[in-house]
Amino acid sequence: MNQTTKTILIFVGALAVVGIALSFVSLKTDQKVDITTLASNIQDGKIKSVSVQGTEIKAVTTDDKKIVSTKESSESFSELMKNYNVDAEKLRALPVEVKEPGGAAYWAGALLPTIIPLMLIVALMWFFFRQVQGQNSKAMMFGQSGARESGKDDKDKVTFKDVAGVKEAKEELGEIVEFLKQPDKFTALGAKIPKGVLLMGSPGTGKTLLARAVAGEAEVPFFHISGSEFVEMFVGVGASRVRDLFLKAKKTAPCIVFIDEIDAVGRQRGSGLGGSHDEREQTLNQILVEMDGFEPNSGVIVMAATNRPDVLDPALLRPGRFDRRVVLDPPDLNDREEIIKIHAKKKPLAKDVSLRHLAERTPGFSGADLMNLMNEGAILAARKNLKEIPMQMLLDSIEKVLLGPERKSHVMNEDERKVTAYHEAGHALVAHLLPHADPVQKVSIISRGRAAGYTLKMPIEDRTSRSCEEYKEDIAVAMGGFAAEKIFFGDITTGATMDMKNATKIARSMVTQWGMSEKLGPRTYGVQEDMIFLGREIHENRDYSDDKATLIDAEIDRLIHDGLETAKKLITDNKDAMDRVGEKLLAKETLERDEFNETIGLTKPKKS
Ligand code: ADP
Ligand code: MG
Ligand code: ZN
């Protein structure tokens, strides 16, 4: 029976009880009269006998009818009658029986009317409180941490086997697992085990997963709370939640406290970034106090995860706090294959599926992206009522994860289609004719996400560093769409906006970060925390003069201009090829790699 039906049943029961009680009170069928009527009846000699009980006066008339009236309990019946001008001898002649007030019925009659509403109110309040608590609303438990504890016998227990790649991180954390399992081994040698471990890595690299795996491996309780849960509703709640969390943890040691997304509370104090930082500061202070407050070998290990280590308060990173830092790298080719393997378990795959090939096609994908990819493939196959997932659907899913779902419903008119086809043909042709640019995998004029069409290029291998020449070609490829529109239609559309943004971004990084401009020399401009591996832009502190700023702008302009010229030249020199690709796109909408190579009819130059 679920909560709601229970509540309803109890309610109906209560109502029934109340109804029965009320009907008892009003069961008296006797005729009710007021005192005046009763008095005049007595005066007229129409009453045979009277019995008085408490406030109730029961009288029997000469024709044997029963009538009832009430009086105040303090007044005596005879006094009352005298006041109503009933003759004294008439009263004396009347047999009056006075009964002691009492008996269950009497008390029930007197008290029920007061008790029932009270009971109702109490019951209502009780229901309300239970409802509120049942729905896990935190209104009633401000100060409690709300941390979810998962123990050893968790059904969906995660171990290191469920985490692929991130080898260094796993090794590092293996140490922690060993300590949690056999603390004596370490303490006997006087070793101090770190209190805090900070997991760092870009979104989707498996930080949360790995933390759960550590608990699973060590078979200890695991308190999981997300940083944003500390910052809620009322000021001061965060700090008391932290206190509560650590109190619980210390009682259950050895155990792991995991604070996910700690950047929500652990931002640099006083930086004023984001609102309500008072609350955050208090919470952060409390975390620091708690971490300092327990002995290194007490068996409580605090793990935290973040994808913004750059914004963390340095105080968190001081020795004795989160002094162990574990970086989760984005997966390389082999890791990707392993991750895909994990997420391919329980999924029936067709014979033609090559996980290796999928891994090759997904450079830059995070673990979460890969999980998403396998899931999308399964969904596609299920919607087509297939029993197995074919390779083609997994390949289609790559694009879905990369670019968002296809928007077949987005109807373009003929002009739009033509511009889009030549725009994409421009990107593809430039990419094809430049030696270092990644080979074209697919060109399409089907809208995806926010793009009208797309040209999919894929590096053949994972790369960690690239050369100046490659970036220059990337800019040219990005400007290919713009150039094609300009050359074939003499006009440009908003479709080139994202392309220009990309080109500008590459050019800016080349000049200010990678020392690829002769004029500006081998130095960086603007202080960026060394967290570029997280793939995020962080606000920049200017550390150069205005002269240099002008120069930087000029160099960015030059790089983009050069790229555009390269693209324009290639397109003008190969107008026939452009027409071939453009027309084919208009006819077929999507060209796969082989079809594209055939249509363009030109060979890709070799890298020199
Ligand atoms: P993060 O916390 O770093 O943002 P998560 O741990 O939440 O990432 O990862 C999201 C999901 O992606 C996981 O539940 C898991 O299914 C998958 N995943 C990510 N990394 C890996 C990995 N290295 N091995 C296996 N699965 C992974
Ligand atoms: Mg996470
Ligand atoms: Zn474009």
Known active-site residue 97? no
Determine whether domain 414-600 maps to CATH 1.20.58.760.
Answer: yes
Domain boundaries, the chain: 3-104, 148-328, 333-402, 414-600
pLDDT at 235: 62
Ligand in nearest proximity to the CA of 425: 3
Contacts of 259 (CB under 8 A, 6+ apart): 225, 226, 227, 265, 287, 302, 303, 304, 305
Bridge partners for 99 per DSSP: 53
**Sign (positive or negative) of CA dihedral 281, 283, 289, 294:** negative
Alpha-carbon gap, residue 556 to 507, rounded angstroms: 5
Distance 306 CA to ligand 2 centre (A): 8
Atom number in ligand 1 closest to CA 331: 23
Parallel/antiparallel/unpaired status of strands 300-306 and 255-260:
parallel
Q: Which residue, judged by its Cα, is nearest atom 5 of ligand 1?
A: 206
In the numeric block, the tokens 């007197």 are attached to 110
Q: Is the CB of 330 under 6 A from ligand 1?
A: no
Q: Which amino acid is at 194?
A: P
Q: What is the pLDDT of residue 558?
A: 95
Measured CA distances, 22 to 11, 25, 109, 122 (Å): 17, 5, 9, 18
Does the C-beta of 316 come closer than 6 Å to ligand 1? no
Q: Cβ(158) to ligand 1 under 6 A?
A: no
In our burial notation (b when 16+ CB lie closer than 10 A, e otherwise), range 359-393 reads bbbbbebbbbbbbbbbebbbebbeeeeeeebbbeb
Q: Do 322 and 197 form a contact (C-beta atoms < 8 A)? A: yes
Q: Which of 314, 321, 324, 267 is nearest to 289 (CA)?
A: 321
C-alpha 224 to ligand 1 mean position (Å):
16
Closest CA to 405 of 370, 446, 346, 455: 446
Walk across the sheet containing 590-592 and list its strands: 454-457, 440-444, 590-592
Name the residue of 198, 263, 371 whose CB sits within 8 Å of the most ligand 1 atoms, as the mutation to test its pocket.
371
Q: Which CATH architecture has domain 3-104?
A: 2-Layer Sandwich (3.30)
Residue nearest ligand 1's atom 14 by CA: 209
**CA 352 to chain CA mean position, Å:** 36
Q: What pTM did the predictor assign? A: 0.62
Return the ligand number nearest the Cα of 199: 1
Q: 20 in helix, strand or coil?
A: helix
Looking at all shown ligands, the one closest to residue 485's CA atom is 3
- Supply the DSSP symbol for 191: P
Sheet arrangement for strand 196-200: 148-150, 222-226, 255-260, 300-306, 196-200, 324-327
Beta carbon of 209 within 6 Å of any ligand 1 atom: yes
pLDDT at residue number 479: 94
* CA 90/CA 43 separation, integer angstroms: 7
Quote the pLDDT of residue 536.
44
Among residues 217, 424, 485, 555, which one is catalytic?
A: 424
Mean pLDDT (the chain, rounded): 81
Task: Evaluate: CB of 371 within 6 angstroms of ligand 1.
Answer: yes
- The number of the ligand 1 atom at minimal distance from the alpha carbon of 210 is 6
Ligand nearest to the CA of 450: 3
Backbone angles phi, psi at 182, to 5 degrees: -135, 75
Dist. CA 210 → ligand 1 center (Å): 8
First CA to last CA distance, the chain: 74
Torsional sign, CA 33, 34, 37, 41: positive
Closest CA to 285 of 270, 305, 307: 270
Distance CA 286, CA 145 (A): 13
Q: Which fold has domain 148-328?
A: Rossmann fold (3.40.50)
Q: Is the CB of 342 under 6 A from ligand 1?
A: yes
Q: ∠ at Cα 534 (264, 363), nearest 5°?
A: 135
Evaluate whether 367 touches 205 at the Cβ level (below 8 Å). yes
326 lines ligand 1 (CB under 6 A): no
- Low-confidence residues in the chain, pLDDT < 70: 1-5, 7, 22-29, 101-106, 131-155, 231-236, 267-278, 296-297, 406-411, 448-453, 458-464, 527-541
Pocket test of ligand 1: the residue of 209, 343, 345, 533 to mutate, having most ligand atoms within 8 Å of its CB, is 209
**What fold characterizes domain 333-402?**
Helicase, Ruva Protein; domain 3 (1.10.8)
- Alpha-carbon distance of 349 to 397, in angstroms, equals 14
pLDDT at position 341 is: 93
